[in-house]
Amino acid sequence: MTDKYAVIGNPIAHSKSPLIHQMFAAQTGQDISYEAILAPLDGFAATVERLRDQGYKGCNVTVPFKFEACRIVNDVTSKVIDVFDLGENADAINTLVFRNNKIIGGNTDGVGLVRDITQNLNSNVAGKRVLLMGAGGAACGVVHPLLDQRPQEFVIANRTLENAIKFKQTIRGTAQFPVRSVSVSSYPNLSGKQFDIVINATSASLMDEMPNIPKTIFAPGALAYDMMYGRDTPFMKFAREHGAAIVSDGLGMLVEQAAESFYIWRGVRPDTASVLKKLRAELPIA
Ligand code: NDP
C-alpha cells in the first residue's frame, strides 16, 4: 500500500519538496505519495491531526509553521514519544513522523546545510570563523548542527539586535561549542571582522534585499551561503564582488534536508547528487 506524506505550509504552491521526494521515491523504489498542503494560518495543528488521522506516515513543515510544529510536539505530551537526536536542540521543527498515534518531531535543516557545505561544496565548518546572519526559523534550525562541527568562532548577527540576543538565549550550545562562546552582533559592529563562512539565514533575499554587512567581511577563500534558492540574490552578487571564493544558494540544503527526512521516514538514503543536478538544470543559478 502506498504510504502518504506531505509538506504543510502557507504559502506552499512554490514548494519543490513534492518533486524532490517523488524523485527520491522513484530512485529507491519506495511506494510513497507526497503532496503539498496549504494550511490556514490558524489551522496548522488541525491540519496535522487530520493527516495523522487519515493515516499519513509523516510530513514536512515549512514557513510559517516551524515554531508551531515544535509546540505541537511538546504540547501533545500523550502523543509524543521523543524528538530525533538531530532535532533535540531545535525549537523549530521541519519533520514530523506519525507513529502509533504519536507525533514525533525533529529538524533536518541543519544536517542538510552541513551536508551541503561539507559534501557538495567540499568545505569545512570545523576550525572556521562562521557568521550566521538572521535570528528566525531558519537560523534556529541550523545553529546546533553548525556548532557541532566545532567552528573556531561563531557570531550571530541580525538587523534587530534584540532578536539576536533573544535567539542566543534559546540556544543550549553543544559539548563541542558552549553557548558562552557564541557572540551576537549588529551588522555595523561587524566592521573590521572577517569570516571564512558567511551564511545568510535571513528572509531579506525574498524581497531582493540583503543585510547591511561590511564589504570586507569575506576572508580569503571564504564561502558565502544564501539559504534562499531559485534565483541569484543581492547577497550572492555582493559576495562575488567582494572576495568570496565560493558562492552558493540553498538548493543543496533543500535537497539534503529532504533526504534526511526521507531517511527518517523510510530508512533508505537516496542519492542526492543526481536529484540536485536535475533541479539545478531547471533553475537559473549555476
Ligand atoms: P523568518 O521570517 O523567520 O526570518 C526572518 C529573519 O530575516 C529575521 O532575522 C529578520 O531580521 C531577517 N530579515 C528580514 N528582512 C531583512 C532585511 N531586509 N535585512 C536584514 N534582515 C532581514 O524566515 P526563515 O528564517 O524561516 O527563512 C529565512 C530564509 O531561509 C528564507 O529565504 C527561506 O526560504 C530560507 N530557508 C531555506 C531552506 C533551504 O532548505 N534552503 C530551509 C529553511 C529556510 P529581524 O529580526 O530584524 O526582523
Give the lowest-confidence range in 85-99, 125-139, 166-180. Answer: 85-99
- pLDDT of residue 240 exceeding 50, the answer is yes
CATH number at residue 120: 3.40.50.720
Give nearest CA residue, ligand 1 atom 36: 227
Are residues 141 and 213 both part of a single domain? Answer: yes
Are residues 31 and 54 both part of a single domain? Answer: yes
- pLDDT of residue 199 exceeding 90, the answer is yes
User: Is pTM beyond 0.85 here?
Assistant: yes
Give nearest CA residue, ligand 1 atom 3: 136
Are residues 102 and 133 both part of a single domain? Answer: no
pLDDT at residue 174 in the model: 86
Asked if residue 227 has its Cβ within 6 Å of ligand 1, the reply is yes
DSSP sequence for the chain: -PEEEEEEESS-TT--HHHHHHHHHHHHT--EEEEEEEPPTT-HHHHHHHHHHTT--EEEE-TT-HHHHHHHHHH-GGG---B-GGGTT-SS--EEEEETTEEEEE--HHHHHHHIIIIIS----TT-EEEEE--SHHHHHHHHHHHHT--SEEEEE-SSHHHHHHHHHH----SSS-GGGEEEE-SGGGTT--EEEEEE-SSGGGGT------TT-EEEEEEEEES--SS--HHHHHHHHTT-SEEE-SHHHHHHHHHHHHHHHHS----HHHHHHHHHHHSS--
Asked if residue 202 has its Cβ within 6 Å of ligand 1, the reply is yes
Are residues 131 and 240 both part of a single domain? Answer: yes
Asked if residue 46 has its Cβ within 6 Å of ligand 1, the reply is no
Are residues 117 and 96 both part of a single domain? Answer: no
CA of 268 to the centre of ligand 1 (A): 31
Are residues 164 and 258 both part of a single domain? Answer: no
Yes or no: say if 205 and 285 are a contact pair by the CB < 8 Å rule.
Answer: no
| Mean pLDDT within 140-151 | 93
* pLDDT tens, residue by residue, 20-37: 999 999 999 999 999 999
Are residues 243 and 180 both part of a single domain? Answer: yes
Are residues 224 and 269 both part of a single domain? Answer: no
220 prior amide bond cis, ω within 30: no
Q: List the domain range (segments joined by +) for residue 223.
A: 111-249
Are residues 120 and 244 both part of a single domain? Answer: yes
User: Which of 95, 107, 202, 227 is the best mutation target for the ligand 1 pocket, counting ligand atoms within 8 Å of the beta carbon and taking the most?
Assistant: 202
If you average pLDDT over every residue of the chain, what do you get? 92
Are residues 138 and 178 both part of a single domain? Answer: yes
How many structural domains comprise the chain? 2
CA of 109 to the centre of ligand 1 (A): 14
Asked if residue 257 has its Cβ within 6 Å of ligand 1, the reply is yes
Asked if residue 9 has its Cβ within 6 Å of ligand 1, the reply is no
CATH number at residue 262: 3.40.50.10860
Are residues 119 and 100 both part of a single domain? Answer: no
| Mean pLDDT within 80-100 | 68
What CA–CA distance (Å, rounded) separates 16 from 21? 9
CA nearest neighbour of 97 among 267, 251, 271, 270 = 267
Strands 129-133, 102-106: pairing kind: unpaired
What CA–CA distance (Å, rounded) separates 161 from 142? 19
Active site residues: 66
pLDDT at residue 78 in the model: 37
pLDDT at residue 284 in the model: 64
Are residues 126 and 226 both part of a single domain? Answer: yes
- pLDDT of residue 10 exceeding 50, the answer is yes
Cell 543526481, located at residue: 274
Give nearest CA residue, ligand 1 atom 7: 202
